[in-house]
Amino acid sequence: MTAKRTPREVLAESRRRDSREKRSKVLAVVDEMAARGDTVSFAAVAKAAGVSNWLVYAEGVREHIEAARKKQAGQPRREAQAGRSSSAASLATDLELSKQQITALRTERDQLKTALQRQLGQQLDQVGAAGLVARVDELTRQHAELTAERDALRQEKAELEGRLVEAEEDLAAARSSLRRMIRAENAGPAAAT
C-alpha cells in the first residue's frame, strides 16, 4: 500500500509538475523560434511561451536560450550565402548606383530648371515686346511731330530773318534819308538856291 501523502507533499508535487511543463514549453518555444529564424531573446521567449521573465533566466532554461542566441549570432554568414541578407560588396554596389542615380537626377533637375528659366524669359519678352512696340510707335509719332515742328520753325526763322534784313535795309535807308534831310535843313535856304 502506498503511504498517504500530506497536502504539503501533494502541493509540492503539483508545483514540480507545473514547473516541468512550463520549462518544457519554454524549451519547445526556443526551438520553434530558432527553426523559424525569429530572433531569440529572453523577453521574446517569455512572451511567446506565456511564462514569467524569471523562468527564462532560471538555471536549465537560461543555458538553452543562450545557446540558441549564440547559434543565431553565427548565422548572418549563412544568410548572406543563402541570399537572405546583403553582402558588403552588394551594399557598396547599391550605394554607388544610388550615387549615380542622384547625380543623374540632379543633372536632370538643373536642365529642367534652365529650360523653365528660358521659357519664363521668353514669356516675359513676349509680354514686354507688346508694350515696347507700342512705346516705339508712340516715340516714332512724337519724332515725326517734332521734326515737322522743327521744319516749320526753321521756315519761320528764315522768313523772320528775311524780314529782319528788309527792316534793317529800310532802317538804314530811313537813317540815310533822315541825315540828308537834317543836312539840308541845317544848310538852310541858301543851299537850296
CA 37 from chain centre, in angstroms, equals 44
pLDDT band at 4 (very low <50, low <70, confident <90, very high): confident
User: Looking at residues 158-179, what average pLDDT do you find?
Assistant: 92
The confidence score (pLDDT) of residue 149 equals: 95
Q: Characterize 163-186 residue by residue with b for buried, 16 or more Cβ atoms within 10 angstroms of its Cβ, and e for exposed.
A: eeeeeeeeeeeeeeeeeeeeeeee
Looking at residue 171, its amino acid is L
| Contact between residue 64 and residue 71 where contact means Cβ atoms under 8 Å apart | no
User: Looking at residues 112-139, what average pLDDT do you find?
Assistant: 83
User: Looking at residues 138-154, what average pLDDT do you find?
Assistant: 94
Which of 46-60, 95-109, 119-133, 175-189 is the least confident region?
119-133
User: Using H for helix, E for strand and C for coil, what is the string for the chain?
Assistant: CCCCCCHHHHHHHHHHHHHHHHHHHHHHHHHHHHHHCCCCCHHHHHHHHCCCHHHHCCCCCHHHHHHHHHHHHCCHHHHHHHCCCCCHHHHHHHHHHHHHHHHHHHHHHHHHHHHHHHHHHHHHHHHHHHHHHHHHHHHHHHHHHHHHHHHHHHHHHHHHHHHHHHHHHHHHHHHHHHHHHHHHHHHHHHHHC
pLDDT band at 2 (very low <50, low <70, confident <90, very high): low
Task: For 60-79, write each residue's pLDDT tens digit.
Answer: 889 999 999 988 877 654 55
Separation in Å, CA 161 to CA 42, 149, 173: 121, 18, 18
- Report the alpha-carbon distance of residue 72 to residue 178 in Å, rounded: 141
pLDDT band at 185 (very low <50, low <70, confident <90, very high): confident
Task: For 88-122, write each residue's pLDDT tens digit.
Answer: 888 888 888 899 999 999 999 999 999 999 998 88
Domain positions in the chain: 10-82
Say what percent of the chain tops pLDDT 70.
89
pLDDT band at 85 (very low <50, low <70, confident <90, very high): low
What is the pTM (predicted TM-score) of this model?
A: 0.38
The confidence score (pLDDT) of residue 76 equals: 57
Place of cell 554568414: 77
